[in-house]
């Protein structure tokens, strides 16, 4: 399985933008880039995913490099509720039956 | 619409005891998954199912069995619990949207 590399931790101030990077240099052409986050003592929750084009939703934006070897999750205005572990995961789509391989993720700390 | 629910929320077992964890989803999803999460680690896939009556092994299947007799339920069994199985267990389901929905987790301690 193609792997991802993320920083262990990042910090931000409340109401400031946050850019969470992810490297996936061995990504294949059919791998989707998924982001999930896990708040303390909860199960992971879906944030966003994309294949080639940048994506936006109500939670975040996903910027994908042109060569797809890296991507960035953007939280436009961090809140204290955004403090969580963020996981960048590659999903091979139908052939993998949706199986996800979680790394250790990035621990995001948001300061008031 | 409850999403994904897990029963029980907490459990303490003695080594050698057995138990079954229940996962239920009300979203009519075909795919269901069982993961475990050890302290400071990401989730690891134990078993998964791509439809009613089907199951398959994930990354760490040893010591666990599963069954999917009904589409909405996915059961995880521990026949003879070991301290190494102390963990938080998460169930998830996935429909056509490529999004996995996770339950709140079951915290299991094996003494």
CB contact under 8 A, B48 and A99: yes
Phi-psi region for residue A93, left (φ > 0), alpha (ψ -120 to 50) or beta? left
Q: Tell me the per-residue pLDDT of B85-99, one tens digit each, with 9 for 90 and over.
A: 999 999 999 988 889
User: If pLDDT is split at 50, 70 and 90, which confidence band does B1 have?
Assistant: low
Minimum distance, in Å, between the CA of residue A3 and any CA atom of chain B: 13
CB contact under 8 A, A42 and B105: yes
Tell whether B40 lies on the interface with A, counting CB pairs under 8 A.
yes
- Residues A2 and A28: beta-carbon distance below 8 Å: yes
B20 CB burial (10 A radius; 0-12, 13-18, 19+): middle
- A41, A87, A98: residue with CB nearest B42: A87
CA distance B15 to A12: 44
- Residues B10 and B30: beta-carbon distance below 8 Å: no
Contacts of B40 in chain A (CB under 8 A): 104
Q: Tell me the per-residue pLDDT of B34-69, one tens digit each, with 9 for 90 and over.
A: 999 998 888 999 999 999 999 999 999 999 999 999
Q: Tell me the per-residue pLDDT of A42-101, one tens digit each, with 9 for 90 and over.
A: 999 999 999 999 999 998 999 999 999 999 999 999 999 999 999 999 988 766 788 888
Tokens found for residue A81: 């509720």
User: If pLDDT is split at 50, 70 and 90, which confidence band does A30 have?
Assistant: confident
Minimum distance, in Å, between the CA of residue B103 and any CA atom of chain A: 6
Minimum distance, in Å, between the CA of residue B51 and any CA atom of chain A: 11
């Amino acid at each position: 399985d193609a792997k991802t590399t993320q920083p262990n931790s990042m910090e931000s101030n409340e109401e400031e933008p946050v850019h969470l990077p992810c490297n996936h240099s061995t990504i294949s052409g059919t791998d989707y880039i998924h982001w999930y986050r896990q708040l303390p003592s909860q199960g992971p929750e879906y944030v966003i995913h994309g294949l080639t084009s940048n994506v936006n939703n109500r939670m975040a934006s996903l910027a994908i490099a042109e060569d797809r070897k890296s991507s960035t999750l953007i939280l436009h205005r961090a809140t204290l509720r955004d403090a969580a572990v963020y996981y960048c995961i590659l999903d091979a789509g139908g052939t993998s039956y949706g199986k996800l391989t979680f790394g250790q993720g990035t621990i995001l700390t948001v300061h008031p | 619409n409850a999403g994904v629910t897990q029963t029980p929320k907490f459990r303490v077992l003695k080594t050698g005891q057995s138990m079954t964890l229940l996962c239920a989803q009300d979203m009519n999803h075909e795919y269901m998954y069982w993961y475990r999460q050890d302290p400071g680690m990401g989730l690891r896939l134990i078993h998964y199912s791509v439809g009613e009556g089907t199951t398959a092994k994930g990354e760490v299947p040893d010591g666990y069995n599963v069954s999917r007799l009904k589409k909405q339920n996915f059961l995880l069994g521990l026949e003879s619990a070991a301290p190494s199985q102390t963990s938080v267990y998460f169930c998830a389901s996935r429909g056509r949207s490529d999004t996995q929905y996770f339950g709140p987790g079951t915290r299991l301690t094996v003494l």
